[in-house]
Amino acid sequence: MKRLLLNKGFNSFLASLVSVICGLIIGLVIMFIFNPQGAWDGFIIMIQGGFSDSARGIGNVLYYATSFILIGLSVSFSFQTGVFNIGAIGQFTIGSFVTIYVAHHGTWLPAPIQWLVAIICGGIVGALWGIIPGVMKAYKNVNEVISCIMMNYIAMYLVNQLIYDSLYDNSLVGTRYVPTTSLMPRVGLDKIFPGSSVNLGFFIALLVSVLVYILLYKTTFGFELRACGFNPNAAHYAGVNEKRNIVLVMIIAGFLAGLGGGILHLSSISKYYKISEVFLNETNYAIPIALLANTHPIGVIASGIFISYITVGGTLMQGQGFPVETVDMITAVIIYFAAFSLVFKQFFTRITTLKFNKANKKRIQ
């Protein structure tokens, strides 16, 4: 038991859990302040999340989690290696468009691989979008936060223009609906979770998270990357080519984000990219999910599903008179409590080592 509590992973998990609980409690208080009658019912619906809408709800939790996980993973992965890929937003955007574009123009491909080609293309262009800030950081020492912000806006406006130029649909003010032949395979999930949009993409997200985990923690390449992340000077000393690695990290992170955008947009027959000058909604969650997961790739699965879970709950909560923004507020409070995780962790460590300390004190006296 003590061993378990001292285990870093478990300790972080516990700390996150406490953050979540505290966040939910504060959220409930806010809800009570604004609408005392509906608060409790609304809250219950929210924390029942996907479960309060039968199988479909669960299916939708998994569906929304798919893109959340992938974009959160993009940010987490970069964080772990010492880069702050705030550009996941733009990579997701451009990846979405390219996937839709390829889906439309790739209908000559055999149907079973149309989706695959499309999302891979989305990922690749996302990766290209990541290269630019990566190269700028590695070789020109340009702060990646600023270059990524610029790349995000460029992606957004560029995609808007490319849509006008290529797949524009007058009545949708966006791309046309994606062709049905290139939708993500449902692999029977539509039978288990009828009415939801969950598809193979979810398993891809899981698989990719595990792959990223393995990459980071089990391979020599990951070893290098993490060394760069924790201490670039030491990595340099150890002969690691940290410049090349920064670029590679941005490529991989860009690919993950682009893939997320692609999968999202091939998930439903009525999906299309709507021209907009606000970033896609999913991108708002990239950093929160990464932070909530303590930037661990497996943690991202949990936090992605969690955010998705309460988002679904939040939609249903509208029935109790709470606007969808309530969920964002609660999410924010939960993230804030993640800041306490250091305190929580110390607390857990203290109670587990209390005995040891007592003994020690005695010895001193």
Partner 1 sequence: MRLEYVLEMRDITKVFPNIVANDRITLKVAEGEIHAILGENGAGKSTLMSVLFGIYNLDEGEIYVRGKKTLINNPNDANNLGIGMVHQHFKLVENFTVLENIILGVETAKYGVLRVNEARRKVLELSRKYGLEVELDSKVSEISVAMRQRVEILKMLYRDNDILILDEPTAVLTPQEIDELIKIMKDLAAEGKSIIFISHKLKEIKQVADRCTILRKGKYVDTVNVQDATLEDLSEMMVGRKVQLEVDKTEAIPGDVILKVENLCVKAKESKKLKVNNVSFELRRGEITCIAGVDNNGQSELVLAIAGMIDSTGTISLNGEDLSNSNVRFRNTHGISHIPEDRHKHGLVLDFDLASNFILQTYFNQRFQKNGFLKFNEINSYAEKLIQEYDVRSALGHESIVRDMSGGNQQKAILAREMDREHSMLIAVQPTRGLDVGAIEFIHKQLIKARDDGKAVLLVSLELDEVMDVSDRILVMYEGEIVADVLPKNVTFRELGLYMSGSKKGEEYEAIVAK
Partner 2 sequence: GSKKKEDDAKKDDAKKDDAAEESSEEPASKDSEESSKGEVVLFVSAAGALDDRAFNSACWLGIQDFCGETGKTYAYYQPTEDTVEAQMVICDTAVKAGAKFIVISADQFKLSAVEMQESYPDVTFIIYDSIPTTAEGEEIIADNLKSILFKEQEVGFLAGYAAVQDGYTKLGFVGGMPVPAVVRFGYGFAKGVDRAAEDLNVDGVELMYSYFGNFEATPDNQARCASWYQNGTEVIFAAAGPAGASAFKAAEDNDGVVIGVDSDQSAESETVISSAMKDLRNLTYKALKEWDEGTFKGGVVETYGSAEGGVALPMETSKWKNFSQEDYDALYERLAKDEDGIASSIPSNTDYDDPSQIPLERTKITYVQ
Partner 3 sequence: MQTLLFILRQTLSFSIPLLIVALGGTFSVRSGITNIGLEGMMVMGALTSISFVRMTQDNISSQNQLLVAIIISIIAGMLISLLHAFASVNLKADQIISGQAINTFAPAFSVFVSRIIFGEQIIVFNNTFRIDEIPLLSKIPIIGDIFFKDTYITTYLGIIIYLISSFVLFKTRFGLRLRACGEYPQAPDSVGINVSKMRYIGVLISGALCGLGGLVYVVPNSTNFNSTVFGYGFLAMAVMIFGQWHPTKILFASLFFGLLMTFSSTYSGIPFLVSLGIPSNYYKILPYAMTLIILVFNVSSSKEPAAAGKPFEKGMR
Token readout for 337 is 């409590």
Query: Does residue 180 belong to the site contacting partner 2 (CB under 8 A)?
Result: yes
How deeply is 29 buried, as exposed, middle or buried, from its count of CB atoms within 10 A (0-12, 13-18, 19+)? exposed
Residues numbered 9 to 48 that lie near partner 3 (CB under 8 A) are 34
Token readout for 77 is 């992965």
Binding site for partner 1 (CB under 8 A): 218-221, 223-224, 226-227, 230-231, 233-241, 357, 360, 364
What distances in angstroms separate CA 70 from CA 7, 154, 156, 254, 356, one per listed residue?
27, 21, 19, 10, 42
Whole-number Å distance between alpha carbons of 125 and 209: 20
Closest CA to 92 of 163, 146, 148, 168: 148
Residue 21: CB atoms within 10 Å: 12
Task: Give the nearest distance from C-beta 145 to partner 1 in angstroms.
Answer: 22
For residue 148, give the DSSP letter: H
Task: Give the nearest distance from C-beta 118 to partner 2 in angstroms.
Answer: 18
Query: Does residue 152 belong to the site contacting partner 2 (CB under 8 A)?
Result: no
Contact (Cβ atoms closer than 8 angstroms) between residue 100 and residue 182: no
Partner from partner 3, partner 2, partner 1, none binding residue 173, C-beta < 5-8 Å depending on class? partner 2
Residues numbered 242 to 271 that lie near partner 3 (CB under 8 A) are none
Residue 321: CB atoms within 10 Å: 14
The binder of partner 3 chosen from 328, 347, 348, 352 (CB under 8 A):
328
Nearer to partner 2, 12 or 160 (CB): 160
Query: Does residue 217 belong to the site contacting partner 3 (CB under 8 A)?
Result: no
Nearer to partner 2, 133 or 304 (CB): 304
Produce one character per residue of 85-122: b if its CB has 16 or more CB atoms within 10 Å, e if not: bbbbbbbbbbbbbbbbbbbbebeebeeeebbbbbbbbb
Query: Does residue 53 belong to the site contacting partner 2 (CB under 8 A)?
Result: yes
Nearer to partner 1, 220 or 270 (CB): 220
Nearer to partner 3, 3 or 140 (CB): 140
Nearer to partner 3, 204 or 330 (CB): 330
Query: Does residue 173 belong to the site contacting partner 2 (CB under 8 A)?
Result: yes
- Interface ranges with partner 3 (CB under 8 A): 34, 84, 132, 136, 140-143, 145-147, 149-151, 153-154, 157-158, 160-161, 164, 277-279, 284, 287-288, 291, 323, 325-329, 331-333, 335-336, 338-343
